[in-house]
Chains A and B, each alone.
Chain A
Amino acid sequence: MRRNHLQRRQFLRGTGALIALPALESIGFRRFATAAPAAPPKRLMFMGIGYGVTAETWFPDMADTGSGYKLPEGLKPLARYKDDFTIVQGCKHQFSRQAHWGSTYWLTGANQYGTPGQSFSNTISADQVAAAQFGQHTRYTSIQLASDADDRNGHGPGDSLAWDQRGKPLSAWSSPLETYLKLFAADDLPLAQRKAMLAEKRSVLDSVMIEAKDMQRGLTQSDTDKLDEYFQSIRDIETRLSKAEQWMDVPKSEAPFVEPDEALVGRSEIEMMYRLMVAAIQTDNTRVITYREPGSRLLSSIGAGGNPHNVSHYRIGGETEVSSKMRDKAHSELLAGLIDLLKSTKEADGSSLFDHVALAFGSNIRSIHYLNNPPTLISGGGAGLKLGQNLVLEEDTPLNNVWLTMLQGVGVNAQSHGDSTGVVSELQA
């Protein structure tokens, strides 16, 4: 890992090796590039935690609804922001059955067996619905963050929380350092050289396309579909290259803080990722960002015993319950830290970043093997949502109704999402 980071870094700082396609994406801030927009844009953030929470101490009492509800132990660290978030209860993804997949379907609600003849399928995730509309304005259409691949326990299949239009997994940046470098690493090459490299990249893509097209001949339909993934990859890179070109002469941004230590793990890793998420949207590098958070690393970094799966099966009165609560507390503390940052960061017009963000924190898994009433915490002032309440919806309300409400709230032109049956009017301010 260590060595990889180092290489990647040299690579990004780099000399323009042809292979460093993503590195070439120059960094810039749209607002510097064009006239400052009248109002700050809306942003969406999703944070998925895989295995759920300690049900008894994280959820507010179902009978104690509304704004005056008593904050449960697991949410105590968020007390100072009690008016700034809402806990939504009673939802469910009707098709979700995999008790160890907290992230795969969290933002999609798809049916694993929805495509005949296939043992796995998925559909577009809520963040990507927004990205399709917001992405054109920013350097990155969307940003996916995750922890290193080996910490996938509790999340289920996928490379991040995000799934594209065709239900294929989208990849993520997997460490704070990588994220920092992608966002802020200086590109010291002269413009002419960068242009030449872009041209070369295009010729690389054009060349392999010749082969791909030739290969298409004589394929069966399902193989043609398979090869289409390859075409789609090339097209995605082309889109990125076009963006890179568009952003090439935009002045470089200044990193808002120093490069993170590459050894951050668990709690400090999440904390840094939160800082980077705020930095990414503050600088308008993207308006849609998801983060699939580490599980086992968080536990070990806060000195909680056990692995995420064992802890998810906590036993009341046992050691695993202690660990489970410690994890919840850490999550809430980190979240409070994120809200701190969002509130203290000012937009160009003097308003706070918090006012223009809609965020969701949670998982498809409630706790243990329960998939009904998953933990769902909504915050941010950007979607016109009614915050500060314990909102208990009718049992088994599609979780996609909540996502749809958020999407529409930030101005995404979506009439439905997945199996949604409508917006949650109680959530609307």
Chain B
Amino acid sequence: MPKATATAQVLSANYRPNLNIQIGPIRLIRKIRPMKYVLPAILSLAATFVAAQDTPRAQLPEKHFDFLESYCLDCHDADTSKGEVNLEDLPFHIENIEQAESWQKVLATLNSGEMPPEKKKQPEGAEKADFLDELAQTLVTARKLLADSGGKITMRRLNQRDYQNSIESLTGVRLNEDKLPDDGSSGDFDTVGASLFISSDKFEQYLELGRHTIDEFYERRAARTVEPFVYRVEPEETLNVALREKVARNEEYNRRFDALDAELQAALALPENAGFEKLIGGKKALSNQLLYRKIDLHLDKLKGAPNPADHGFGNFFNAVKFYDKATPYHKHYAGLPYNDTGTWLQLTMGSAKVVVAPPNDMPVGTYKIRIRAGATDDTPEFRHFLELGHPSERELGRGQLDGFPLQALHVTGSPADPQLIETQVEVGKDTTRQFAIRERQPGWGALRKFYFYPAANRNGYGHEPSIWVDYVEIEGPLPQGEPSPLDQIYEENPARSHSSDIERARSILHQFAVKAFRERQPKPEFIDALVEVYQNRLAIDKQFDVAIRTPLSMILASPRFLFLKESGQEGSPRALDDLEVAVRLSYFLWSSPPDSELLALAKQKQLRDPEVMRSEVDRLIQDPRAHEFVSGLAHQWLDMKRLDFFQFNAQRHREFDESTRAAAREEVYQSILHLLRSNDRGQLKNLLDSDYVIVNGLLAAHYGLDGVVGDEFRKVSLPKDSPRGGLLGMAAISAMGSDGIESSPVERGAWVLRHLLHAPPPPAPANVPQLSRLDDKPLTKRGKLAAHMEEAQCASCHRKIDPIGFGLENFDAAGKWRQKEGTGRKAHQIDAAGAFHNGPAFADFYELQDLIAANYEDQFARGFTEALIEYGLGRPFGFTDEELALEILSKAEGNGFQLRDLVQALVSSKQFGTK
């Protein structure tokens, strides 16, 4: 084998984040765009802040009394009170749940069109829309006010992320995400203790997972002394042989079929068989497939019918059944160059994946996978990526994997000058001990239906070859890293180190409990009880190393591990002690327990020193574990669960496969992480607009950016006219604002209002009559949604939502830039022009983005800060937190709201250090 020509660093297994952003050359070219409509920042920071400092009230402006008087009080005044509804006495200042309910009913009956009754005077459009708008907003305020935690931080159960990381940091075992107990979905963040429930089945899951952890921990210990192995697959020895055999088999088959068919066609051509066509169902039935499927039943009516047995077929049906239409496809691949030393991967059928199934035992641990491969320049860049995963159980000669691919790998060499790709995978207790690579792809069925046959019509065989693989190799298990705390406990308590096994068990259990409880001492009776369980188990299990697993796993289901306890007293807040601060900080920024450095500082009581705290926050942010904070926060702040709602339609969006989805998600995280770790260029406004993106090779190909090679995310400067840069240009945001088929201007507009402009529309109301008048009309999306403006109930929100959504229409559902929507007759030029409700107009996406970046920086920072507070303190952001939000913002304002400054400001706040 020739020497490796290139080595790419790649994402590690399971799309665990790549934590090292390699900063590429930074060219400071500012995008220059026409800025015709720059507004004075009407909603200045000061104005926002002052307004917020007033005592929060859910107050419907008094001017709306006119509306009530004009349209409601005729029947619903104090005297008449029709239907026992009296609106005259309903206060405009909402102070309790009952009043909120009453107003909610007013809103609902207006929304549903139930009131005012048809024969009564009706409010005109804008008037009604304004009233509905303000009432809905006031009710949102009232709900927020009435649900305010009053500054309480409820004890938090470890959420999935916390739990998974805590287990890993204690034992070295990484549990599968899909096994973890659910966090529920009440709409609060997953750090909000009040919304994290525990129930008996969760407790049982914790016990089960604890046992799983300890069992795998033992496997990891045993694996330490195992000799690593290397296993290599040379696909030309298997796949190519099979392909050649298949081609030979098919050709022989086809020869026989063709001979049979020639005889059949000759028979059909006989004049005496003229009526036969009609007999079997008309001209259409003469197409080969149908003819062969039907003819066996009517053979006696065909003069001079050939005998299939003469050609080795049982009957006509069988002859056609096994006819392989993909023969030219296979033949083409079998005849390609470089087939003596490697294999060209086929996209569908045949040599679709290279399976690596080592005959060796594979102990748990980390393994290295090496792939030597190259791609041809004849195919587009998006076809230069491999997917690594586990092969599906049902081997069908297709590219199927079991579940989603684990990683996508950029192939940058060529068959003549191949490249060595190296990556790592984790093998746990339950991991399938087989791996496979294939060319990246959406679902197999769609690929065949929408791409294979059109390609075959074009080139005579099918998918053009793109990636050639020399070999795939697996090596491992690799040496394990630092011993885990539990490993260390075992080192400190080797066999025969104590007066008896019971004492050894007691020592191990005690030390492990202290670690699991984050340096808090367990109650001695608890350890006694664990030792008793150990003894009972010993009677059954006979061996120390088996019997001890039960009590060890119980520690992982006990409350002091599962809950982050901070003692306190309702109504009289107290400062956290150093250890509590350390725990809060590490679960905030790492979703993990504190490391030894943080614990040491806590023990020396140095964490209350602001300078020490500051440098610790900086250290934690630079640590790879900070990715947990960024992904946990961003996913919830930006409502990213929508990214996983839909499977993308492969016919329309061939390139939006699972690898693109994963990379698009990671782009959001990496962009935020990049800001968080920056010393002086970490301003939040970079998320509104920037002259760079943080992408990997795969996303760069998606965006049409050249020269980005490899799978690590890095900073890439943008050409001047690029629509990318900032959240609005990210594929993830476009995709979330779609249903996997089409873009949704409503979803996107509402998202922008919620997350960028900090002006969330109220929740979609129930019982608003749906617009169906225009359903049958061949209108554009814009035409259909125009009807939103006709009904006041719709217009009250959609006049704000829709224009922004249409401004983003140049991004299709997959986030690709487009000028036109639709195909063929329905195609039309996209018109992104519009205007903010009661605000400036924009001619296209660029102007829309400029307006948002120029006018909403403060609001954006405000929205982020609220999310940060909810995430960091673990309580829904409420009016209680107004002051805190102001304090954080004013501290970070000087440097333009740098992410790190915002985080530092929260950590240094009184609230962060108080229970």
Interface status of B831 (Cβ within 8 A of chain A)? no
A343 in contact (CB, < 8 A):
no
A238 to chain B minimum Cβ distance, whole angstroms, is: 9
**Within 8 Å of chain B (Cβ to Cβ): is A317?**
yes
- Let me know if B104 and A222 touch, CB within 8 A: no
Give, as a whole number of angstroms, the nearest-CB distance from A398 to chain B. 14
Contact B570 A220 (CB under 8 A): yes
Q: How large is the interface on B (under 10, 10 to 19, 20 to 34, 35 or more residues)?
A: 35 or more
Find out whether the CB atom of B182 lies under 8 angstroms from the CB atom of A113. Answer: no
Minimum C-beta distance from A316 to chain B (A): 6
Are A210 and B523 closer than 8 Å at their CB atoms?
A: yes
A237 touches B567 (CB 8 A): no
**B690 touches A (CB below 8 Å):** no
Query: Which chain B residue shows the least CB distance to A300?
Result: B647
Q: Which of B233-241, B551-559, B581-589 contacts A (4 or more CB under 8 A)?
A: B551-559
Q: A113-B97, A208-B554 are in contact. Are A229 and B763 (CB under 8 A)?
A: no
Docked complex Cα distance between A100 and B152 (Å)? 29
Cβ–Cβ < 8 Å partners of A230 in chain B? 198, 203, 559, 562-563
Which residues of chain A have C-beta atoms less than 8 A from B185's C-beta?
A: 152, 157
Contacting pair A117 B101 (CB below 8 A): no
Contacts of B147 in A (CB 8 A): 113, 116-119
The answer to the question of A219 belonging to the interface, with a C-beta cut-off of 8 Å to chain B, is yes
Q: 0/1 per residue, A303-323, Cβ < 8 Å to B?
A: 000010010010111100000
Known A-B contacts A4-B178, A226-B193; A220 and B152 likewise in contact (beta carbons under 8 Å): yes
When the two chains form their complex, are residues B570 and A221 in contact, meaning their CB atoms are under 8 A apart? yes
Residue-wise interface mask of B (146-180) relative to A, using a CB-CB cutoff of 8 A (1 in contact, 0 not): 11111010110100000000000000000000110
- Binary contact readout B756-776 vs A (1 if CB under 8 angstroms, 0 otherwise): 000000011111101010011
Q: Is A28 an interface residue (CB 8 A)?
A: no
- Interface size class on chain A is 35 or more
| Cα–Cα distance between A214 and B558 once the two chains are bound (Å) | 11
* Contact of B150 with A215 in the complex, beta carbons under 8 Å: no
Give the segment of B34-42, B206-214, B284-292 that binds chain A: B206-214
Is residue A72 contacting chain B, with contact meaning CB distance below 8 A? no
Interface-facing stretch out of B363-371, B527-535, B692-700? B527-535
A203 CB-CB contact with B under 8 Å = yes
| Complex Cα–Cα for A372 and B533 (A) | 56
Residues of A within 8 A of B536 (CB): 200, 203
Residues of B within 8 A of A21 (CB): 204, 207
A68 within 8 A of B: no
A38 CB → nearest B CB, Å: 34
Are the CB atoms of A120 and B775 closer together than 8 Å? no
A8-23 CB contacts (< 8 Å) to partner B = 17-22
Q: Are A211 and B523 in contact (CB under 8 A)?
A: yes
Proximity bits, B320-338, A CB within 8 Å = 1, else 0 = 0000000000000000000
A218 within 8 A of B: yes
Cβ A369 vs Cβ B770 within 8 A: yes
- Does A169 make an interface contact (CB < 8 A)? yes
Q: Does A191 contact B (CB under 8 A)?
A: no
Kindly state whether residue A371 has any CB partner on chain B within 8 Å: yes
Asked if B554 contacts A207 (CB within 8 A), the reply is yes
- Cβ-based interface call for B681 (8 A): no
Residues of chain A contacted by B154 (CB below 8 angstroms): 222-223, 226
Q: How far is the CB of B74 from the nearest CB of chain A, in Å?
A: 21
The B-contacting residues of A in range 311-357, CB under 8 angstroms, are 313, 315-318
Q: Evaluate whether A229 and B768 lie within 8 angstroms (CB atoms) in the complex, with A116-B146, A169-B184 already known.
A: no
Q: Given that A120-B187, A200-B536, A219-B568 are contacting pairs, would A208 and B211 also be in contact in the complex, using a CB cutoff of 8 Å?
A: no
Contact A227 B533 (CB under 8 A): no
Q: A97-B104, A229-B199 are in contact. Are A310 and B739 (CB under 8 A)?
A: yes
Residue of B with least CB distance to A155: B185
Given known contacts A226-B154, A229-B197, A369-B770, A204 and B554 CB-to-CB distance under 8 angstroms: yes
Contact B207–A19 (Cβ < 8 Å): yes
B188 within 8 A of A: yes
By a CB distance below 8 angstroms, the chain A residues around B186 are 119-120, 157
Q: Answer yes or no: B855 CB below 8 A from chain A CBs.
A: no
- What residue of chain A has the Cβ atom nearest to residue B646's Cβ? A307
Q: Give chain A nearest CB distance to B579 CB in angstroms.
A: 14
Contact A236 B767 (CB under 8 A): no
Is B767 within 8 A of A227, CB to CB? no
Contact status A203-B558, CB under 8 Å: no
Q: Which residues from chain A contact B764 at a C-beta distance below 8 Å?
A: 99-100, 369
Near A by CB (< 8 A), chain B positions 405-437 give: 430, 432
User: CA–CA, A19 to B214, complex, Å?
Assistant: 12
Contact of B526 with A210 in the complex, beta carbons under 8 Å: yes
A111 on the B face (CB < 8 A) = yes
Query: When the two chains form their complex, are residues A307 and B766 in contact, meaning their CB atoms are under 8 A apart?
Result: no
Whether A206 is near chain B, meaning CB under 8 Å from some CB there, is yes
Residue-wise, chain B 737-758 has the 8 Å CB interface mask toward A (1 for contact) of 0011000000000000000000
Contact A372 B199 (CB under 8 A): no
Say whether B256 faces chain A, with CB atoms less than 8 Å apart.
Answer: no
Determine whether the beta carbon of B197 is less than 8 Å from that of A169.
yes
Most chain B CB atoms below 10 A, which of A168, A204, A371: A204
Given contacts A96-B766, A207-B530, A208-B554, contact A233 B523 (CB under 8 A): no
State the total of A-B contacts with C-beta under 8 angstroms: 216
**Contact partners of A111 in chain B: CB under 8 A:** 97, 101
A159 beta carbon closer than 8 Å to chain B = yes
Q: Which chain B residues in 523-578 approach chain A with CB under 8 Å?
A: 523, 525-526, 529-530, 532-533, 536-537, 540, 550-551, 553-554, 557-560, 562-563, 565-570
Neighbouring B residues of A385 by C-beta, 8 Å: none
Query: Are B775 and A316 in contact (CB-based, < 8 A)?
Result: yes
A3 to chain B, nearest CB (A): 6
Interface readout for B449-460 with A: 1 if CB under 8 Å, 0 if not?
000000000000
Asked if A368 contacts B560 (CB within 8 A), the reply is no
- Min distance, Cβ A402 to any Cβ of chain B, angstroms: 20
Of the candidates A4, A211, A233, A370, the one having the most CB atoms from chain B within 10 angstroms of its own CB is A211
Closest partner residue, chain A, to B430 (CB atom): A3
Q: Are A20 and B208 in contact (CB under 8 A)?
A: yes
Complex: chain A residue closest to B533, CB-CB: A203
Residue B609 CB within 8 A of the other chain: no
Least CB distance from A128 to B in Å reads 13
Whole-angstrom distance from the CB of B393 to the nearest CB of chain A? 7
**Hey, which chain B residues are within 8 Å of A369, CB to CB?**
764-768, 770
Contact B179–A117 (Cβ < 8 Å): no
Answer whether residue A212 sits at the interface, using C-beta atoms and an 8 A cutoff. Answer: yes
Chain B residues positioned under 8 Å from A317 (CB to CB): 775-776
| Chain B, Cβ-Cβ closest to A116 | B146
Complex Cα distance, B178 from A1, in Å, reads 8
Contact A19 B211 (CB under 8 A): yes
Which of these, A120, A203, A211, A316, contacts B560 with CB under 8 Å? A211
A240 and B200 in contact, given A19-B553, A113-B100 (Cβ under 8 angstroms): yes
B199, A200: Cβ atoms under 8 Å? no
User: Within 8 Å of chain A (Cβ to Cβ): is B202?
Assistant: yes
A177 to B386, CA, bound (A): 35
Within the assembled complex, what's the spacing in Å between the Cα atoms of A297 and B907?
45
Judge whether A233 and B198 touch: CB under 8 Å: yes
CB distance from B207 to the nearest CB of A (A): 5
Q: Is A62 an interface residue (CB 8 A)?
A: no
Q: Is A80 engaged at the interface, CB distance under 8 Å to the other chain?
A: no
Distance in Å from the Cβ of A114 to the closest Cβ of chain B? 7
Knowing A96-B766, A211-B523 touch, does A4 contact B550 (C-beta < 8 A)? no
Most B CB atoms within 10 A — which of A2, A113, A215, A221?
A215
Whether B194 is near chain A, meaning CB under 8 Å from some CB there, is: yes
Given A119-B188, A222-B194 in contact, is the A233-B199 Cβ separation under 8 Å? yes
Kindly list the 9 A-B residue pairs having the minimum CB-CB distance in the complex, ordered from nearest.
A218-B567, A207-B529, A236-B200, A223-B155, A120-B186, A171-B201, A119-B147, A233-B200, A214-B523
10 A-B contact pairs sorted by A residue (CB < 8 Å)? A21-B207, A97-B108, A99-B767, A149-B182, A157-B187, A159-B184, A208-B554, A211-B522, A220-B570, A371-B766
Seed contacts A113-B146, A120-B187; 9 additional CB < 8 Å A-B pairs: A4-B178, A18-B211, A111-B101, A114-B97, A119-B188, A168-B197, A208-B554, A219-B565, A307-B739
